[in-house]
Amino acid sequence: MHTIHHTRAVILKSTPMREANKMFWLFTEELGLIVAIATGIRKPGAKLAGQLTDYGFINVDLVRGRDVWRLVSASEDFNPLLGKIGDPLARSYVRTLATLERFLIDEGIHTELYAHIEECARYIAVATVDAKTYDTLAIWRTFVHLGYIAVEEHEVNLFTLPFATALAVLDEATMKRFIMQVNETIQHTHL
């Protein structure tokens, strides 16, 4: 008998598979990054089709098969991009998720990173900052959580403060330094 894992997740991306299936890259609160297959989801009238939209947060039930995770059921928690088509902050949020998908290597518990991603998503609804500032802090914090960038002593508050508060105190000089650190990380990892 297979164990059903209940967890929260954000859908990083999805791709069609065979006739009616779909493959999902999920960043889960309890399991880290996993790839799961939803069978029959592209058939007309599939129950899960409306619950699984890219970049949305879901409550999901998963079963680990021999070679792959299977998505058993899901319900949408919230989708920060609803009604935000063309919004620069929404594009920044998608870039943050793309960065996460690209640099997170495997399964494993990343509770603080998951909380950071959810905080970034929820901020879009109440945003009061420009996209460049949001983008810089969101991606820099993602790299710090992943261990690619070390936080210097004078930057600790920008890492530990709530996301909205850190955005409010982020100055231009620090932002330029963060952009440089992110770019160097991308170049050095060759990912």
**What is the CATH superfamily name and number for domain 4-78?**
Nucleic acid-binding proteins (2.40.50.140)
Percent pLDDT > 90 in the chain is 71
Q: What is the pLDDT of residue 191?
A: 65
**Is 186 buried (19+), middle (13-18) or exposed (0-12) by CB count in 10 A?**
middle
**Tokens of residue 17, six digits:** 């598979």
| Dihedral sign of CA atoms 28, 30, 35, 37 in order | negative
- Give CA separation, 137 vs 40, 58, 101, 156, 172, in Å: 39, 24, 17, 13, 12
Rounded Cα distance between 53 and 77, Å, is: 11
Q: What is the pLDDT of residues 22-31, one digit of tens each?
A: 999 999 988 9
- Residue type at 150? A
Q: Is the pLDDT of residue 148 over 70?
A: yes
Mean pLDDT of the chain: 91
Average pLDDT over residues 42-61: 86
Rounded Cα distance between 59 and 73, Å, is: 8
Three-class DSSP category at 120: helix
Residue limits of CATH 2.40.50.140 in the chain: 4-78
Q: What is the pTM of this model?
A: 0.90
Q: What is the largest CA-CA distance in the chain?
A: 56
- Residue type at 28? T
